[in-house]
Structure formats: structure tokens, C-alpha cells
Amino acid sequence: MAEWKLEEKDGIKYFRLDFENLGWKDLKCLFIARNESSGAINDKSLARLFNTFGIGRINFLKQIHSDKIFYVSEHNFIQRNLEGDGMFTNRLDTFLGVNVADCLPIYFFSSLKKIIGIVHSKE
């Protein structure tokens, strides 16, 4: 069973879901809390996240509290203007993200199908 671990790196506090005991050493699942002193995530804070965690790009959606979920493949990298509330992929080099305030992020994965996804959920 994977478990969340509270960690800090370069001044960024985050929860990391540890999959190493399940044999998924390359799978990274993070929940990064907004830093009250820096405010909401912006281009500067995203650049800091990219540098700190070695992320090339995070795919985000324009969240609309819907049931729209997108599959991210090698041929259709997510564009920022897509509207929906979830996405999934089988790509090892793809990072998925959702913004939450009073909502919850739901992470899901299948070791059988080798997919991972994230959904923005309200209620």
C-alpha cells in the first residue's frame, strides 16, 4: 500500500505518495500546499517547482466542475485552454496537475494497465 509522506525540499513543503514499495520507482505523486507567504501558484512559483522537482511541464485544465476527463497521449499534449476536471495518461514523462481550494484532488492509478490520473472533485 502506498502512503503519503510529508517532506520539504528547497523550502517547498509537500506530501509525496510513495510507490517504491510497490515497485514503481519512477512514479511521482505530489500534493503541494500553497505557501501563505507566496500566495497562489503563478509562473514564477511553477518555474521554482519545475527546477526543484525536475519537471519539464505540468498539464493543467481549466477546471469547470464537470465530468469531462481527458486522455493525455504522446500525440495530444494538453493545452491550457481545454476545459474539464480530470486527465489520465500512460506516459512516464507526463505530469498532471489540478488546483484545489475547497475541493479534493483524487489520484488514481492502475498497475495492471500502467496508467495514472488525477481528478478535481467537488463534494
pLDDT in tens, 24-66: 666 677 787 665 445 566 778 778 888 888 887 788 888 898 9
Residue 114: name the closest of 88, 75, 95 by CA. Answer: 88
Mean pLDDT value of segment 95-110: 85
Report the C-alpha gap between 66 and 122 in whole angstroms: 9
Q: How many CB atoms lie within 10 A of CB 43?
A: 7
What pLDDT does residue 70 have?
92
pLDDT at 68 over 90: yes
- Please name every residue paired with 60 in a beta bridge, in sequence order, or none if there are none: none
Total residues belonging to the chain = 123
Cell triple for residue 51? 527546477
Looking at per-residue confidence, does 118 or 23 come out higher? 118
Report whether pLDDT(121) > 90. Answer: no
- 56: nearest Cα among 94, 18, 4: 94
- The pLDDT value recorded for residue 35 is 59
Q: Tell me the per-residue pLDDT of 72-91, one tens digit each, with 9 for 90 and over.
A: 887 766 666 788 999 999 88
38: left (phi over 0), alpha (psi -120 to 50) or beta: alpha
